Each structure stands twice: as C-alpha cells, then as structure tokens.
C-alpha cells in the first residue's frame, strides 16, 4: 500500500472526486462492499469515517481524521480498498490514504497526549450516557463512542459530539461480553454478584474499589466489559439514572499514556482528563509490578477518584496481598474495598458454558462431545471456547456433523497438549469408587464377581492408559502373574463388544482418568 508520505495536504493538481458523480457512485459501492465483508461493528469502528478526497489521474485519495486511523486502515484494509476500487474502475491504479481536514471527526492533525487521550477518555456529556472506552491498544477513534467529543483541546473545553456519533456504539467493548452472556457457576458466582452490584450502584460503600482476580481465561475481562456496558446504559437493560463516563484500559496502556504525558510535558492534562471520569477500570494490574513511577501516578489517581466518590474496578491474576512488587500503599488501598476471586472452573460450569455457546452457534453438538471437551480441557474457559469454535467452524466449512471421532481428529493438537500421565494407583482408586468397593480389594485374593470384575477393568485401563508392562501391572494388583493381566484385558475387551452398559462404564472411567 503506498505511503501517504509526510505531505498530507491535497495537491493543487488534484480535483475533488465527489464532484464527479460517476466516481462518487463507485466510492459508495466500494464502501458498501467493504462493509458487507468486514461486518457492521468493524466497519463502524475503523472505516465509517473514510471520506473520498480527490482524484489525480489513476490515483484516488481517501481521507481520515487522525493519523492513528490512517495508519490502521492503511495496514489492515489498504490492499482490499485497492482491489475493490480496481473492480469498480480499472482506471484506478492506486489508492492513497491520508490524514485530511474535512473528514469526519476533524482534521486529526493534533499530536501528543491531547489527541491520545481524546481517543480514550469520555468527558461528561450533557444529555445521555457516555460510552465506555477501552484504552488498550489499539485505541478506538474518538468519534465512535456515543457522547464522546471527537477531539479535546483541553480538559476544561471539550468539543461537542457530532449528531451521528451519538448513535454509534462503543466498539472498543466486546458486544459478546455482557452480564446476560456470562455463565454463572459456583466458582464465579461471588465475583459475578459483586460486578452486578457495582454496575447497579457504583461507588457504593464496601464495593469501592472492586478488585477481581483469578487465572487466565476465567472471566475477569468479561465481567469488566459487562460492568462498563451496564453503566453506560448500552448493555441490555440499560440504566435510567444520570449519565456516567467510563474509562477502561489495561495497566500497560495506563503506563503508555503516562509516559507519553511526561515526554510531551502534558502531565497536568493527563491527570485532569483521567480524573474527570466517573468510573476508572484497569485490567491486568500486575503489569505495573516494577514500574515505580507509574505505580505512584496510579496511586494518586486512585486516591483522587475515591475521594471524589468515583468508582474504581481493577483486575489482576492474584489477590492484592499476593501481588509482590506492588508498593505496600497500593496493595493496601486495593484491598480496602471488595476483593472477589474467580476460581478454576468445575466440570458442571464447563458443561454449562459449552452448552450455551453451542446453542448460540446454531450447530448441533452432541452431549457426549460437550462432556468429552469438559473433561479434557480444564485449564481455562478461553481455550475451551476456542476448541468448540474450531469444531463448529469445521462443521460449517465442510458440512459435516460434529461427532466424537471428528472432535478427536480436529482437536488432536489441543487434546495432545492436555494429555497427562495416569498412574495405576489413580486407576485403582477411580475404579474402586465407581463400583463402590474397597481400594484394598484391588490387590486382595478375593475372587467374588463383585470384586473380580472391577479389578479386571482396572487392569485393562492400566494397560490402555499407562506404559507399564504386564508384569509391572500384575505386581500392582497383589503380585499377580502377567497371564492374569492378559486374561483380564481379553475378558474386558469381549464384554465391551457385547454389553453396551458395561462399555459405557468403562468409557466413562477412561474419560475421567484422561481429563
């Protein structure tokens, strides 16, 4: 994609492309095709503000309000814009994407912290709720969130939002991450209840700050997005109370903005704009460990907002007391509000999550496949959902039903990563529990059928799931001979082929041991 260069003003030889009705019609079709390809949300986020600039021979100029948008569109959609233009008009050989006045949202010629924060922080609106804004890279363009000013000359003089911007949605927030789509179970019910409370009554006593912590993929970010959606009145039910401005960013982004403020000598502007919001949300706070100067600025921002009765929501991978490397005063302040953890998922919660996602996909997924995934992938919800997404995509692309065999084939790499070593002792314990016999019966000389059959199953599973030799397995079962183990394997194999109920028991035990 050609570089617009440092010269962003229109060339004198260029003529306005909008003056040519044919070119204008072609541009409208290019935009329409691009919107249908990328989807409405992505189009509104990055492409809606494109304006047709000028035409000079075989080159068309497209203008955007900010350098950030220009660079993003150029790198992610430039080639596709070029292709679509050539399909509409073979005479167009080059599309030049520039920053230019007249594009939606202003000239975009500002630089430094003023422009950076204008893309990130919602000033208090006069009439309706502000949108939550994700300050993580890449930051959304300033005119995409409702009631956000397209540019901020200063914290005290925000520009008024354009009329069409007030109807846009805050694309920085994931529309999937709402309270309605969050699957609640025992491991996360307390964190969910706390998040709901903050969304309904921000800055209420005992819940400020709200500190969410837990491992990767357990739902911290989902809950933070859900709080932001609900507070801004855009997350389903909506709120009829006073307008609320929300700033949402990662800790890394907070540090980036702070450093930019220091370099541009705009620290006061940074402080004023960030502290003007009603709710500040910081994701992955553990990133600030070891960043002493940024920690100090966060501490002062934290104090200023809490003292002013504003809500703070923070997430991290550990509880405040376990975040060694954070200053003691920061950890103390974080722990003075509500601390809620998200535990590792249970089998029941994983099944519920998979069922809900499968239902939304519209692709029939057999219960045995969902059970298999819930047993095999236990690390985090993100990986679990990713596995189901692959299955559904495979079914849609090839028109094949989702089966257990297809699941094992499509997800072989994921399943292999989750394989673990199973011990004979673990097999004996699981089998004994399943058939309600004593663990000592596995190695006892008793030959009653109620004991002998489970013992044979345990030997069979030991042969299937471990690398132990037959004599080694025999020794684990009361020093039995290897021929006894061979007989047990043969007998269980025969029963699996002839007795469906018995086969289901053995398969269930296998899945439990492999999960």
- Reported as a single tens digit per residue, the pLDDT across 139-151 is 333 323 332 222 2
| Cβ atoms 382, 221 nearer than 8 A | no
| pLDDT attached to residue 480 | 92
| Cβ atoms 376, 415 nearer than 8 A | yes
Q: What is the biggest distance separating any 2 CA atoms in the chain, rounded to whole angstroms?
A: 100
Res. 165: pLDDT tops 60 = no
Residue 434 phi, psi dihedral angles, 5° rounding: -65, -40
Closest Cα to residue 68, out of 93, 103, 28, 35?
103
| pLDDT attached to residue 234 | 53
pLDDT band, very low/low/confident/very high, at 167 (cuts 50, 70, 90): very low
- Does domain 424-514 fall under CATH 1.20.1530.20? My reply is no
Res. 152: pLDDT tops 80 = no
**Which DSSP category does 462 fall into?**
H
Closest Cα to residue 143, out of 65, 221, 78, 204?
65
Element at 453 (helix H, strand E): helix 449-465
**Tokens describing residue 76:** 């992610």
What is the arithmetic mean of pLDDT over 126-155? 34
pLDDT band, very low/low/confident/very high, at 216 (cuts 50, 70, 90): confident
Res. 57: pLDDT tops 70 = yes
pLDDT in tens, 218-231: 899 999 999 998 88
Give the three-class secondary structure for 98: strand
Of 101-105, 353-357, 471-475, the poorest mean pLDDT is in 101-105
| Cβ atoms 69, 37 nearer than 8 A | no
Q: Does pTM top 0.85 for this prediction?
A: no
If one looks up domain 110-344 in CATH, what number appears?
Answer: 3.40.50.300
| Cβ atoms 89, 122 nearer than 8 A | no
**Tokens describing residue 433:** 């529990």
- The per-type count for the chain, helices as H runs and strands as E runs, is 20, 10
Distance CA 23, CA 28 (A): 9
Bigger pLDDT: 45 vs 507: 507
Distance CA 367, CA 351 (A): 9
Instruction: Annotate 413-426 with DSSP letters as a single string.
Output: HHHHHH--PPPHHH
Bigger pLDDT: 132 vs 361: 361
| pLDDT attached to residue 116 | 33
With tokens 């084939």, the residue in question is: 409
What is the arithmetic mean of pLDDT over 430-454? 90
| Cβ atoms 221, 257 nearer than 8 A | no
| Cβ atoms 34, 43 nearer than 8 A | yes
CATH of 15-99, one of 3.40.50.300, 1.10.10.10, 3.40.50.1450, 3.30.300.180: 3.30.300.180
| Cβ atoms 288, 294 nearer than 8 A | yes
| pLDDT attached to residue 211 | 95
Distance CA 67, CA 99 (A): 6
Strands 132-134 and 94-99: unpaired
Fold of 347-418: Helicase, Ruva Protein; domain 3 (1.10.8)
| pLDDT attached to residue 245 | 86
What is the arithmetic mean of pLDDT over 424-442? 91
Distance CA 474, CA 441 (A): 14
Give the three-class secondary structure for 311: strand
Res. 130: pLDDT tops 80 = no
Domain ranges of the chain: 15-99, 110-344, 347-418, 424-514
pLDDT in tens, 394-413: 888 888 889 888 888 888 87
Res. 442: pLDDT tops 90 = yes
Strands 246-250 and 132-134: parallel
| pLDDT attached to residue 8 | 39
What is the arithmetic mean of pLDDT over 334-363? 89
Q: Strand runs (DSSP E) across 173-309, as ranges? A: 210-214, 246-250, 279-283
Distance CA 285, CA 330 (A): 11
Res. 1: pLDDT tops 50 = no
pLDDT in tens, 260-297: 889 888 888 888 888 888 999 999 999 998 888 999 99
| Cβ atoms 307, 203 nearer than 8 A | no
**Which DSSP category does 319 fall into?**
-
């Amino acid at each position: 994609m050609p570089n617009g260069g440092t010269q962003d003003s229109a060339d004198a030889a260029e003529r306005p492309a909008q003056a040519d009705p044919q070119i204008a019609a072609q541009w409208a079709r290019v935009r329409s095709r691009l919107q249908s390809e990328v989807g409405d949300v992505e189009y509104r986020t990055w492409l809606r503000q494109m304006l047709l600039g000028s035409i000079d021979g075989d080159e068309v100029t497209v203008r955007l309000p900010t350098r950030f948008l220009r660079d993003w569109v150029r790198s992610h959609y430039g080639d596709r814009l070029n292709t679509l233009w050539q399909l509409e008009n073979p005479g167009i050989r080059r599309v030049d994407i520039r920053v230019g006045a007249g594009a939606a949202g202003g000239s975009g010629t500002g630089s430094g912290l003023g422009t950076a924060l204008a893309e990130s922080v919602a000033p208090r609106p006069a009439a309706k709720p502000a949108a939550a804004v994700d300050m993580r890279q890449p930051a959304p363009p300033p005119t995409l969130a409702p009631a956000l000013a397209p540019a901020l000359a200063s914290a005290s003089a925000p520009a008024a939002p354009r009329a069409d911007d007030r109807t846009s949605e805050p694309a920085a927030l994931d529309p999937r991450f709402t309270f309605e789509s969050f699957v609640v179970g025992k491991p996360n019910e307390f964190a969910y209840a706390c998040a709901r409370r903050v969304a309904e009554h921000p800055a209420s006593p005992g819940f400020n700050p709200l500190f969410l912590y837990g491992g990767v993929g357990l739902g911290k970010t989902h809950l933070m997005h859900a709080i932001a959606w609900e507070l801004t009145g855009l997350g389903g039910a909506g709120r009829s109370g006073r307008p609320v401005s929300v700033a949402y960013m990662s800790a890394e982004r907070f540090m980036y903005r702070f450093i930019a403020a220091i370099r541009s000598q705009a620290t006061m502007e940074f402080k004023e704009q960030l502290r003007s919001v009603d709710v500040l949300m910081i994701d992955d706070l553990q990133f600030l460990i070891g960043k002493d100067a940024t920690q100090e600025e966060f501490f002062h921002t934290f104090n200023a907002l809490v003292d002013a009765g504003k809500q703070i929501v923070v997430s991290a991978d550990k509880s405040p007391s376990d975040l060694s490397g954070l200053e003691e005063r920061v950890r103390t302040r974080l722990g003075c509000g509500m601390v809620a953890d998200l535990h590792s998922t249970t089998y029941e919660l994983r099944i519920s999550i998979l069922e809900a996602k499968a239902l939304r996909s519209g692709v029939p997924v057999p219960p045995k496949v969902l059970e298999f995934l819930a047993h095999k992938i236990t690390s985090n919800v993100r990986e679990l959902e990713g596995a189901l997404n692959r299955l559904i995509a495979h079914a849609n692309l090839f028109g094949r039903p989702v089966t257990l065999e297809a699941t094992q084939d499509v997800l072989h790499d994921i399943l292999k990563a989750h394989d673990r070593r199973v011990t004979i002792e673990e097999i004996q314990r699981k089998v004994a529990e399943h058939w309600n016999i004593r663990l000592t019966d596995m190695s006892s000389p008793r030959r009653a059928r109620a004991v002998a059959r489970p013992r044979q199953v345990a030997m069979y599973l030991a042969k299937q799931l471990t690398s132990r030799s037959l004599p080694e397995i025999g020794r684990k079962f009361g020093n039995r001979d290897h021929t006894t183990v061979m007989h047990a394997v043969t007998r269980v194999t025969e029963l699996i082929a002839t007795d469906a109920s018995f086969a289901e028991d053995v398969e269930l035990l296998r899945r439990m041991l492999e999960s």
